[in-house]
Every structure is written in structure tokens, then in C-alpha cells.
Chain A
Amino acid sequence: MAALEEPFASGNSFIHRMDPRIRLLCAGMLTIPAALLNNIDQAIAALCIGTVLILLAQLPLHLVLKRLAVVNVFILFLWLFLPFSLPGEPLFAFGPFKATQEGINLAALITVKSNGIVLTLMALMGTIAIQDLGPAMQQLRIPNKLCHILLFTYRYIFVIYQEYTTMRRAMAARGFCPKTNTHTYKSYAWLVGMLLVKSWDRAERVHGAMRCRGFKGQFYSLAAFTTSKKDYAFLALCLGAIIAVESMGIIRSTLS
């Protein structure tokens, strides 16, 4: 959108040309069950699906890896705590902290699942241009409030960041340099408070301006969506893939 780059939305693969509604449906269909998986084989299958989708969408791989790295920074924290906090078979120990097999398994499961889900979302949702995302979501009957929250967060997070930098610079220009003291904490608290007030005011003004142009909660798009046979085939394929992953679990539980 206006402020954030959308490097993934500008490609020209068949995924990019697909009806955004189908892409959204597939994204939901693949990621929600994947989030509920609880064994590693199935999670690996989900990761494979995500990887295949990324390749199909022909996204620039270095950007994909860069975004994955950000996600995995959060996951790194899980690796710091999970192995040592789950009860079970001790594997090794750092002083009083014992790492358990169960903990490591769980951390691995979460890692594989999250990466699979993020890849799938990048390939299917990341490729939707933001101006199509709103109408597509509304046509799929996703609640209006959710659509608005998503779109406006996307649009204004950068504006809010800019307000922050402006204020921060104005503070620096008056000789403010952060230290560990009450003055610093107080000033930061005021900065954050002001940021909230300003964001609120701005939201009010933008909403007013939108109402003046006849906005009543519904987004319309210049793009008319059409669903081709290919799109339906893709939908069926995704459905097949997730059923396959789910049945892996069913087969496994009947075998054991």
C-alpha cells in the first residue's frame, strides 16, 4: 500500500493472476488445519506444501528468507525456554536446567508448523494487492470489522511510525538523550501517550473524510474478480493436499 512495500504482490505467476478470493480461501483452508497439527510428520508435509506454493508463486527467494528469518527470531525464544520447561525424559542439562526430549520435540513441531504456515501465507495472501484484499475479504463474508482493522492497520502503521520519528527528532533537537532516569521514562511515557492521542485524532479525521465521500462500511473495488476453471482446479488441489495431510494423522493413529 501507500507506505509499505509490497514486493510479493507485483509478480506475474499464475498464483498472482488467480482470483484473490480463491487465494484467500486456499490460505485459510491450508493454514488453519496446519496450525492444529500435533505430530512432526504432518507438520513437515505442511512445510513442503508451503515451499511448493512459494516456488509456484515465483517469489524472490532472498526476500522470502529475510521474512522467514524475522519469524524465526521469535521462534528462537521458544527454543530457549520450551526444552527446559516441559516435564519428561531428561536429555542433557545446563546446571540445574534439564532439557527434555518432549520439550525439544514440541519446539521442533512449532518451528516446522510456523514456517510452513508463514510460507503458505506469503505465497497466497502476500501476493494479493492490498486494494483487492478488502473487497475480496468482504465478498467472502468475513466480518466488516475484521476487514477494516486489517486494512487500516496496514495503511497507518507507517504513518504512526512517522509521527513517532518526528516527535523523537523534535525531542532530540531540544537536547533530549535517553538515559536511565525518571526524566527519560517520563518523557517516553509522554511520547507514547501523545502517539496514541495523535493516532486517535488522525483516525477520526480519516474516517470523517471517508464518510464525506459516501463511505458506509462497504469497500468497492475497481477490479472485478472473475474465477476461472483453473482457479477452481487449484482450490480442489489445495483441498486434496490438506485432506492428505490430515489423513496422514488418521492413518498413523489407527496403526498405533
Chain B
Amino acid sequence: MSHAVIELKDVMYAFPGRGNTLDGLNFHLHPGEKLGLFGPNGAGKTTMLHILMGLIKPQQGEVTLFEKTMQDGDCFDEARLKIGFLFQHSDDQLFCPTVLDDVAFGPLNQGLPPEQAKAKAMAALKTVGLEGFEERVPYRLSGGEKKLVALATILSMDPEVLILDEPTTGLSPEAKERLIDILHGLNMARLVVSHEPDFLAATTNRLLAMRDGRIRPGELKPHTHTHVHEEGDVPHQH
């Protein structure tokens, strides 16, 4: 197997005044892998993502990104440009006056000249099916549209890895379907954190469970369940 693009080794993290949120966590993601991660609230999923992006510093343990061990805050700069991180709340991610400015923000930070950054931004908007949204105000879009714009803001950076933190929060079934369709068209390695088994089954091919600050050993395969609900005899979609 090729080398992992993301590797966490024996990571410990505790918020002040609380027990260990992460307690000797080990994790790795290889190129092309599509991993799903689930676990109860407070299991440490978001903390783990923030540690591997270098947004918070673990008290112990090692973070290795693209085969480079991260020593301090600054070495993350380069690696971050290759990891597309979709935040749980789109409002945290979108801050520019227009959709185009927001989607071009990453490419401009990568050092591309404005013309190329704009071309990348347009291409990313096309990938998520939001052509014609360039001049719209991100703040005023619907929740589903905001999520897609946020996805475009990271796709425009041509990431090698996608990390999606509970991407379905607050989305309607239609918006979820759209997100799944877009993800089907993307080939980079991905890590999806979600509470929704159906969404994980549709977008990942291996599942990990997190509990008490560790990833539990043993593998789970995404699978579907039959289920019962009202008006189930009427043709419907999920």
C-alpha cells in the first residue's frame, strides 16, 4: 500500500477542565481511500479534524501529512493548501462579499494570478452546478446553496484530500442528493464525518467508529437497512 496522506499517531487532547477528548488516537488515510467516520456527540470527531488541520495543537502525539511530520503551526501552511476542509457550518467558511470572491480566495492564497484564480473559481462553481452564482451574496443564499458554495471554495484549490465535517447538517433531502451526486464525480481521497448512515453508505466505502476519543478497532462495511415508516406504500425516495 502507498504511504498515508494523513496519519495521526497516539494523539492525546484534553480541553481544559475536562477528561481526555482524544485518548491515544491512531488514524490514517491513504490516497484514493474513501473513509467514513461516525460516533456519538462529544466523541472527539471535530477535535480530531481540527488537530489534523493544525488548528489546535495536541498535547501529545504526532501528526504526519503527506509524509511530513508536523512540528509546529507553520509547517501546516503548505499541507493545508492540499487538503480541502469543509466546515460544519457554511457561515463560518464564507466571508466574502460575492460568491466569486469567496471561491477565488483559496487559489489567490495559493499564489495564482487573479486571472487564473478566477478561472479556477469558475470551474469549481461549474463542478458544483452553481454557474451564474458568481455575483450573488453568499450570506443570502439558502442553506443548501451555501454548502455547495463552501464546497466550491475548497474544490477551487485542487485538493488532494477532502475532509467533510458533518456536511449534511441542516440540509434538505434534495440538497443531500445533490451533494452525493457531486461527491460521486470526485476522485480524491476523502474523510466524511457524519451521523447519517445513508449518507456515509453513499459517499464512502469503509467506515470507522469513534468512541471515547479513540477509533475502535474492527472494520464496518456500509450497508443499508430495510425500514418502516408511515405512507411507506406510496412510491418515495430517500
**Could you list which residues of chain A lie within 8 angstroms of chain B, going by C-beta atoms?**
1-3, 129-131, 155, 159, 202, 205-206, 208-216, 220-224
Contact = CB atoms under 8 A, between A and B. Distances in A.
B95 A222 contact: no
B114 A130 contact: no
A200 to B, nearest CB: 13
Contacts of B167: none
Nearest to B104: A222
Contact of B92 (A205, A215, A223, A224): A205
Given A205-B92, A222-B118, A215 B97 contact: no
Contacts of B92: 202, 205-206, 208-209
Contact of B157 (A1, A159, A214): A214
Interface of B: 50, 53-55, 77, 80-81, 83, 85, 87, 89, 91-98, 100-101, 104-106, 108-110, 114, 117-118, 137-140, 153-154, 157
Nearest to A9: B97
Nearest to B154: A213
Contacts, number: 80
30 contacts: A2-B137, A3-B139, A130-B97, A131-B97, A131-B98, A155-B95, A202-B92, A205-B87, A205-B89, A206-B95, A208-B50, A208-B55, A209-B85, A209-B95, A210-B95, A213-B80, A213-B109, A213-B153, A213-B157, A214-B80, A214-B109, A214-B157, A216-B109, A220-B114, A221-B108, A222-B100, A222-B108, A222-B114, A222-B118, A223-B114
Majority SS of interface residues in chain B?
helix
Nearest to B54: A211
Nearest to A155: B95
A214 B110 contact: yes
A181 B150 CA distance: 45
Given A209-B87, A222-B101, A222-B104, A131 B109 contact: no
Contact of A222 (B89, B117, B137, B139): B117
A147 B56 CA distance: 25
Nearest to A216: B77
A211 to B, nearest CB: 7
Contacts of A155: 95
Nearest to B77: A216
A185 B91 CA distance: 31
B93 A221 contact: no
Contacts of B139: 2-3
Of all A-B residue pairs in the complex, the 10 with the closest CB atoms, nearest first, are A214-B109, A2-B139, A220-B108, A213-B106, A205-B92, A212-B85, A208-B55, A209-B93, A1-B97, A222-B114
B53 to A, nearest CB: 6
Contact of A214 (B55, B106, B140): B106
A136 to B, nearest CB: 14
Contacts of A210: 95, 105
